[in-house]
């Protein structure tokens, strides 16, 4: 099955970001992708953290969700909408939510980012907890590929990547493919992005598809990019360093079975 990680450099205007996402998704579909995944904050990288509040949608309603449903249907894609702000009980916060759409345009899964990023190196400071309410449950969904193969797909978002217990819960549920839509900073991405993606692939013997924000944004933030596809042996199959683009590669059930058969580490778990 061909899959695509969409890399963007999103700005503060939703309409502009959706137009950019559409063009990139059309490229992914033209290259034969059955599954396309957008990056974290694909619909808006605001000038301030609190800008998310004005963009919050409720499940099943809103321009970003309508866009995702329409594009999935129009392009006949399984589509994972990076993240978008979803309303929650706390009016001063939103959930950072990843929604999954089938090729029929139906929303089939929702994951709310569990781990909220906080970072301060003296030059850059971030604290997602100021405007985001954390989720509390792992989520997987089942994807039926055009060749009839069923894939179990585990969802995560960005900072979740640092918490192997989340990915182990996906492995226990039978995940074959792990998705990591992200907006890594340059300092943390340069140091740890590829290292962590490859580690999650190796330890869970699963493919990892990681679309990212990658460039300099209007709000001054710099994101690391390097969207990539990693195979279950830890090999990087495709990558894009910076700028908007599409990383397309193949997830192979035979390769997955080969890795798990030659080194049955998942079956050797004790704890």
Residues identified as active-site: 40, 113, 158
Gap between the Cα atoms of 68 and 107, Å rounded: 9
CA-angle at 40, arms to 34 and 42, nearest 5°: 80
What is the phi/psi pair of residue 220, to 5°? 90, -10
Beta strands in the chain (DSSP E): 2-7, 35-37, 78-80, 84-87, 94-101, 107-112, 118-120, 125-127, 140-144, 150-155, 177-179, 207-210, 214-216, 222-224, 227-230, 236-240, 245-250
Distance of alpha carbon 218 from alpha carbon 222, whole angstroms: 9
Measured from the Cβ of residue 165, the count of other Cβ atoms closer than 10 Å reads 7
Asked whether the beta carbons of 73 and 115 are under 8 A apart, the reply is no
């Amino acid at each position: 099955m061909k899959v695509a990680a969409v890399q963007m450099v999103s700005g503060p205007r939703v309409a502009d970001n959706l137009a950019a996402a559409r063009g990139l998704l059309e490229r992914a579909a033209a290259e034969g992708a059955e599954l396309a995944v957008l990056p974290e904050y694909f619909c808006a990288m605001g000038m301030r953290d609190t800008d998310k509040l004005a963009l919050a949608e409720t499940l099943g309603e809103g321009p970003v969700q309508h866009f995702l449903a329409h594009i999935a249907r129009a392009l006949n894609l399984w589509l994972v909408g990076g993240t978008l702000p979803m309303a929650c009980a706390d009016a001063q916060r939103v959930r950072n939510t990843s929604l999954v759409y089938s090729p029929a345009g139906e929303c089939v899964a929702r994951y709310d980012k569990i781990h909220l990023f906080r970072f301060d190196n003296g030059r850059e400071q971030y604290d997602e907890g100021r405007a985001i309410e954390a989720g509390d449950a792992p989520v997987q969904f089942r994807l039926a590929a055009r060749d009839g193969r069923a894939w179990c797909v585990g969802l995560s978002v960005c900072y979740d990547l640092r918490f192997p217990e989340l990915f182990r819960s996906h492995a226990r549920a039978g995940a074959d493919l792990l998705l990591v839509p992200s907006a890594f900073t340059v300092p943390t991405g340069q140091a740890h992005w590829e290292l962590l993606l490859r580690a999650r692939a190796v330890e869970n013997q699963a493919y990892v598809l990681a679309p990212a924000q990658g460039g300099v944004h209007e709000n001054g933030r710099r994101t690391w990019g390097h969207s990539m596809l990693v195979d279950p042996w830890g090999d990087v199959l495709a990558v894009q360093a910076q700028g908007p683009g599409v990383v397309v590669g193949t997830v192979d059930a035979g390769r997955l079975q080969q890795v798990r058969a030659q080194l049955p580490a998942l079956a050797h778990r004790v704890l």
